[in-house]
Amino acid sequence: MPEAGASRRRIGVLVSGRGSNLQALIDAVGRGDLAATIAVVISNVPGAAALDRAAAAGIETLVLPHRDWPSREAYDEALAAALRDRGAELVCLAGFMRRLTGRFLDAFGGPVLNVHPSLLPAFPGLDGPGQALAHGVKVAGCTVHLVTPELDAGPIVAQAAVPVRTDDTHDTLAARILVEEHRLLPWAVGRVLDGGWRLDGRRFLDV
């Protein structure tokens, strides 16, 4: 297992709620499956449970409530500055329920990854599992993608599929998808940090 120290890649994680994907990242780092240091966890929602998970793991937490900033752009610049100040070179959106502008992406400058509970481009936006059930698809899943200013539309790094069962409820389907999110997100973060990839248009490819 790599030593914790200055040479480890520093990542920032943005959250808004429960934080189970954050926990998957914390656990992957702890197991030595993800060679990175989580430098900071930032929530736009005060009191988010994810903050407790970060604190329990000894990770710095920061609450930046978006309503405290006069504009979306001003908020995004403050967020990017907080991440850069802590040496983050990659940002992971782990249940961060707020759109980021191009201003954030430009100001941060590094890769930004998002985990989403659907097989994009199907069912962007809120409640991927609910949209999948309502549409009647037979296969659902999750996606980790690079973030662009368009909602849930950036180049896809990894996807995992799960079957939709006849007796599925929203909760059973969401839980089955979440298991795959927890596996996929740490893998995708490591993949992007490791390098050896390029974009060909929208396609995320090995070099």
Residues within the interface to ligand GAR (CB under 6 A): 17-21, 50, 94-95, 115-117, 128, 152, 178, 181
Known catalytic membership, residue 135: no
Catalytic residue of the set 66, 116, 135, 170:
116
- Write down the least CB distance from residue 128 to ligand GAR, Å: 6
Q: Are the C-beta atoms of residues 27 and 59 closer than 8 Å to each other?
A: no
Nearer to ligand GAR by Cβ, of 82 and 160: the residue is 160
DSSP element (H, E) containing 185: helix 170-194
Nearer to ligand GAR by Cβ, of 3 and 171: the residue is 171
- Write down the least CB distance from residue 41 to ligand GAR, Å: 11
Residue number of the CB atom closest to ligand GAR: 95
SS3 letters across 52-75? HHHHHCCCCEEECCHHHCCCHHHH
- Write down the least CB distance from residue 19 to ligand GAR, Å: 5
- The b-or-e profile of 53-92 (16+ CB within 10 A means b, else e) is bbeebebebbebebeeeeeeeebbbbbbebbbeeebbbbb
Nearer to ligand GAR by Cβ, of 116 and 176: the residue is 116
Both structure tokens of 127: 């409640």
Looking at the annotation, which residues are catalytic? 116
